[in-house]
Amino acid sequence: GILDNKVALVTGAGSGIGLAIAESYAKEGAKVIVSDINEEHGKQAVEKIKSEGGEASFVKADTSKAEEVEALIKSTVEIYGKLDIACNNAGIGGEQKLTGEYGLDSWRKVLNVNLDGVFYGCKYQLEQMEKNGGGVIVNIASIHGTVAAPLSSAYTASKHAVVGLTKNIGAEYGQKNIRCNAVGPAYIETPLLESASGDMKEALVAKHPMGRLGTSQEVAELVLFLSSDKASFMTGGYYLVDGGYTAV
Ligand code: NAD
């Protein structure tokens, strides 16, 4: 596979987009660290990857806690000897309220997971990758890294910030053989959207010129490309996989 002999880490890999990314990495030959705050889902993901012939191990971590992320990178190196690829995928949607009514705690929680968590990931991954002599990071942003999500200010702000963080890393690490890019999926069929009502889902579908939501696999294909040597001249970028959502 295109990731033979690579060691890859995926956060939030117990479900949805992260699970599809972890499976794709493993299918392409990488040894994968599946990390999640949800131990049951993370362990199930490892079993699924192994049953598909891949190599994976579960390491529990809450990405919103710096010390747990630092320990996660340490464990990765202890288990598989190095870190070549990291996908910072763990994220939450958060409360839905007008900005003037948005709860202070809700705001902090979303920013803590979606932004602080990605920063902690990048910080400790970069440190490790510098020791390795190189590496690749892919941060999962959203279309809301460039357009609004009415009633989800915290989410929009956090994803715009992830795009900015990614650009900065691209600028800083260009000569250190470390590439970092962000991905902007539109609405994807995942457990994150399961709570949405039928009407809400229909309204969401209507915002995509392609007339449907995306699949986790369609996001994983882009992440896989960016994580591989095929994307060897790509860093600091933000790439959409959005069925045309942001084009209209
Ligand atoms: P999901 O809820 O299906 O999966 C998210 C996973 O992250 C879960 O397994 C959860 O346990 C884990 N997680 C949550 N908080 C965590 C924490 N603090 N530490 C570690 N793990 C944690 O969601 P998804 O739809 O697969 O979303 C994955 C990423 O993709 C998120 O960053 C999300 O913002 C982004 N995204 C999703 C969509 C969509 O429509 N589903 C669209 C654009 C971007």
Give the tens place of pLDDT for each residue, 123-137: 999 999 999 999 999
Residue type, 30: A
3-state helix, strand, coil in the chain (%, to 5): 50, 15, 30
Q: Is 80 a catalytic residue?
A: no
Which structural domains are found in the chain, ordered by start? 7-240 (3.40.50.720)
> What's the whole-number mean pLDDT along residues 227-235?
98
Residue 143 has pLDDT above 70, yes or no: yes
Of 118, 49, 125, 121, the residue nearest 83 (C-alpha): 125
Among protein residues, the one whose CA lies closest to atom 36 of ligand 1: 142
Percentage of residues in the chain with pLDDT exceeding 90?
95
* Res 77: pLDDT: 98
Among protein residues, the one whose CA lies closest to atom 23 of ligand 1: 192
* Res 192: pLDDT: 67
List all residues whose CB is within 6 A of at least one atom of ligand 1. Answer: 11-12, 14-18, 36-38, 41, 62-64, 89-92, 113, 117, 140, 142, 185, 187-188, 190-193
pLDDT band, very low/low/confident/very high, at 120 (cuts 50, 70, 90): very high
Residue 195 has pLDDT above 80, yes or no: no
* Res 139: pLDDT: 99
CA distance 215 to 189: 6
Of 189, 194, 193, 197, the residue nearest 213 (C-alpha): 189
Tell me what the pLDDT averaged over the chain comes to: 97
> What's the whole-number mean pLDDT along residues 32-44?
98
Residue 191 has pLDDT above 80, yes or no: no
pLDDT band, very low/low/confident/very high, at 217 (cuts 50, 70, 90): very high
> What's the whole-number mean pLDDT along residues 205-234?
98
Helix (H/G/I), strand (E/B), else coil: 94: coil
> What's the whole-number mean pLDDT along residues 7-35?
98
> What's the whole-number mean pLDDT along residues 3-15?
98
CA distance 219 to 73: 24
Q: Per the residue annotation, which of 155, 238, 239, 245 is the catalytic one?
A: 155
- The number of CA neighbours under 13 Å toward the Cβ of 106 is 16
**Distance (Å) from CA 36 to ligand 1 centroid:** 10
Percentage of residues in the chain with pLDDT exceeding 70?
100
Is the interface score ipTM higher than 0.90?
A: yes
